[in-house]
A and B are shown apart, each in its own frame.
Chain A
C-alpha cells in the first residue's frame, strides 16, 4: 500500500476488493441524485403499469373470468358450520386458447376491428398532420389578429374529450342535430348517420380530427419557430419561391418534431377509446368498433372475462410495439438518430 497517499481514487481505500463493487459504489456516488429524482416515477410505473402488464400477459394464457375466479365454494351447512369445497370449475391455464379464439374470430371480430382501427388511425393522423401543418404555416407569418386566430384554433384542445364526444354526438343526432338541420337547410336529405358503418365512422373521425388538430398545430408551429430565419432570408435572396422555401427549408426543419408527433399521434389515436365508445357506440351493430372499444365490449359486457380482456390488451400492445420498432428502423435508415 505504498500509493495510499498518492492515489486519490476512492477504490484505493479498500485494498484487496475486486473492481466491481467499487465501480458500483462509484456509480452510486455519482448518480444517486439522478436515481433519486426518477425513483418516484419508476415506482409508480412499476406498480401500476408493469405489474398489471405482466399479470395481464399471464392472464391471457388462462380462462379467468368473473364466474370462475374463486378457488373454493363455501356453503353454509344446516348445523351452521361452513363447508368449503374446491371449485370444480376453477380458472386454469389454457395455453394459447384465448389467442386462437380471438384470431380465428370465434369471439369478437378481431380482423374487422383491426381493419377499422387501421383506417381510423391512418385517416385521423393524416388529417391531424395535414391540417395542423397547413394551419401552422399560415399562423407562422406576420399578420393581423394572429394571436386571436391561434387562441381560437387551439381552443378544442381545452375541451375535455368526453364533452367533445357529447357535443358532436348531439350535432350528429339524427332527429334534432345541427348537421342534419344544415343539410335540410341547403336542400339535402337528412342522413341517418349511425345507420351505416361508413357514415358512423365518419362522425367519429370528424370528432377526433376536431379534437386532435390543435396539438399537431401547436407542436408544428413550435417546430417552425426554431428554424432560423436566416435560412429563409438566404433562400429568398437566391430567388426561391414560397413553395420551394416550404419544401426545402420548412419540411426538413420540421422533421424531428414531425417524427415524434406522428409516432405519438398514431399511438394515441390507435388507442383512442372515448370517441368511438361515446359517439358511435359501435353502431350499426358493432360495425364501427375499433380494437379497443370492440375488445372492451367483448370482454366486459355480460360476464366480465378478464382473460379475454388481457388477450386483447397483449395483442394491441404487440401491434403498437411492432409498429414503433419498424417506424424507428425506417427513420434510422434515413439517417435519423432519434
Chain B
C-alpha cells in the first residue's frame, strides 16, 4: 500500500469532493462495466442474449456454465492452461530475478547490451516471426507440447520482468549486500537470503505479469498446439466462435470462467502492484 501524502495538506471544498468521487466512480464503472455485462449475459439463456432488448436479468440460468463445463473439452483446456501458466510463472520469476539482480548489482561486461536487447525483444512482431520460431521448435521436437509454449512465453515475459526487477533491486541499498558478504555470504546466498525477500512487491508483480502472459496468449498457442486435448483456454475458446454464428451464450460463460483464475492471481498481487512497479519504472 502506498503512502498517501500528508493528510490535511489541502482541505477540499465539498464541491471538489463531489467532483473527485464522481469522476472516480464513473471511471470505476467504466472499468468494471464490460466485465459485469459479460457476467450478466452469461447467466441468460441463448435466446435472451440474441434479443436486442436491454435487460440486466432475464430467465437467469446456469445452463451455459453447465454446457461449457460438461459438454466441451473446457476442463481439459483449463488444466493445460494452469500447467503452462504455473510453469511460466515459476521459471519466469526465477530467471527474471537472477538476471535482474546480476544486471543491478554487478558491473560486468555485456551488461548494457543486455539491457538494450531486452528492450529490442519487446519490438518483435510476434505474429509474424512465429514461423521461424515454429521451425526451431519443430527441430527440437517440441511442437504440440507444453514446454514449447512455456519457453515461448518466457521469451515474451522475462525481458520486461527482468527490467522491472532490476529497477527494484537498484532501490535496495547495496550496504545490505556488503553486510551479508561480511557475514560470509557468497553472491548467490546474498541474493537468495537477503535481497530477494526484500523485493517481495516486485516479485509479486512479476508473478502477476508472467501468469497473465501465459494465461491470455493466443498467437503462439494456436500455432504450436495441434491436438484438441492439448489446447490452452485462449485457443480452445475460439471453438465457440465459428465464422458465421458465434455462440455468445457459451462464449460469455467461458470468458467468465477464464477470468476467475486471473482475477485470483490479481487479488493476491494487487497490494504490491504500485510499489512493485514503481522502482522498475523510475530506474528503467
Quote the shortest CB–CB distance from A326 to chain B (angstroms). Answer: 14
Q: Are A40 and B281 in contact (CB under 8 A)?
A: no
Query: A residues within 8 A CB of B1?
Result: 147
Closest to B262 in A: A158
Q: Are A160 and B258 in contact (CB under 8 A)?
A: yes
Chain A contact residues, majority secondary structure: helix
Judged by a CB distance under 8 angstroms, whether B82 is at the interface is no
Q: Are B102 and A271 in contact (CB under 8 A)?
A: no
Query: A residues within 8 A CB of B219?
Result: 273-274
Judged by a CB distance under 8 angstroms, whether B84 is at the interface is no
Closest to B283 in A: A256
Q: Are B124 and A153 in contact (CB under 8 A)?
A: no
Judged by a CB distance under 8 angstroms, whether A93 is at the interface is no
Q: Mark A30-47, 1 if CB is under 8 A from B, else 0.
A: 110111011011101101
Query: A residues within 8 A CB of B93?
Result: none
Q: Are A56 and B21 in contact (CB under 8 A)?
A: no
Closest to B20 in A: A138
Q: Are A267 and B128 in contact (CB under 8 A)?
A: no
Q: Mark A308-320, 1 if CB is under 8 A from B, else 0.
A: 0110110011001
Most buried by B among A34, A176, A261, A273: A34
Most buried by B among A49, A168, A309: A49
Q: Which among A48, A226, A271 is the interface contact of B152 at CB below 8 angstroms?
A: A48
Task: Give residues in A with beta carbon < 8 Å to B.
Answer: 27, 30-31, 33-35, 37-38, 40-42, 44-45, 47-49, 51-53, 55-56, 59, 135, 138-147, 149-164, 166-168, 170-171, 173, 175-176, 178, 180-182, 184-185, 210, 214, 218-219, 221-223, 225-226, 229, 232-233, 236, 242, 256-257, 259-261, 263-264, 267-268, 271, 273-274, 277-278, 291-293, 295-296, 299, 304, 306, 309-310, 312-313, 316-317, 320-321, 324, 338
Query: B residues within 8 A CB of A184?
Result: 52, 54
Q: Are B34 and A164 in contact (CB under 8 A)?
A: yes
Q: Which among B2, B30, B129 is the interface contact of A225 at CB below 8 angstroms?
A: B2
Query: B residues within 8 A CB of A52?
Result: 129, 132-133, 136
Query: B residues within 8 A CB of A292?
Result: 125, 127-128
Q: Are B123 and A271 in contact (CB under 8 A)?
A: yes
Query: A residues within 8 A CB of B51?
Result: 176
Quote the shortest CB–CB distance from B88 to chain A (angstroms). Answer: 12
Give 18 A-B pairs besides A223-B282, A229-B6, A256-B283 with Cβ atoms closer than 8 angstroms. Answer: A31-B106, A37-B102, A48-B133, A48-B155, A135-B24, A150-B274, A159-B35, A160-B258, A163-B258, A166-B38, A178-B37, A210-B30, A242-B10, A256-B284, A260-B284, A295-B128, A316-B125, A324-B119
Closest to B263 in A: A158
A158–B237 alpha-carbon span in the complex (Å): 18
Q: Mark B4-44, 1 if CB is under 8 A from A, else 0.
A: 11110110000001001101100110111011011001000
Q: Mark B66-94, 1 if CB is under 8 A from A, else 0.
A: 00000000000000000000000000000
Q: Contacts A222-B281, A264-B122 known; A142 to B31 CB distance under 8 Å?
A: no
A139–B3 alpha-carbon span in the complex (Å): 11
Query: B residues within 8 A CB of A296?
Result: 127-128
Q: Are A56 and B9 in contact (CB under 8 A)?
A: no
Most buried by B among A37, A59, A159, A296: A37
Judged by a CB distance under 8 angstroms, whether B101 is at the interface is yes
A169–B54 alpha-carbon span in the complex (Å): 17
Q: Are B27 and A135 in contact (CB under 8 A)?
A: yes
- Which 4 A/B pairs are nearest by Cβ-Cβ distance? A160-B216, A222-B278, A52-B132, A158-B266
Closest to A297 in B: B127
Closest to A336 in B: B284
Q: Are A229 and B266 in contact (CB under 8 A)?
A: no
A42–B114 alpha-carbon span in the complex (Å): 8
Quote the shortest CB–CB distance from A102 to chain B (angstroms). Answer: 12
Q: Mark B97-108, 1 if CB is under 8 A from A, else 0.
A: 011011101101
Closest to B158 in A: A41
A219–B202 alpha-carbon span in the complex (Å): 12
A51–B266 alpha-carbon span in the complex (Å): 34
A254–B3 alpha-carbon span in the complex (Å): 17
A228–B4 alpha-carbon span in the complex (Å): 11
Q: Are B131 and A53 in contact (CB under 8 A)?
A: no
Q: Are B128 and A181 in contact (CB under 8 A)?
A: no
Quote the shortest CB–CB distance from A301 to chain B (angstroms). Answer: 13
Quote the shortest CB–CB distance from B79 to chain A (angstroms). Answer: 17
Q: Are B282 and A155 in contact (CB under 8 A)?
A: no
Q: Mark B108-131, 1 if CB is under 8 A from A, else 0.
A: 111100100101111111111101
Q: Are B128 and A299 in contact (CB under 8 A)?
A: yes
Quote the shortest CB–CB distance from A295 to chain B (angstroms). Answer: 6
Q: Which of B57-65, B176-184, B248-256 participates in binding chain A? A: B248-256
A33–B109 alpha-carbon span in the complex (Å): 12
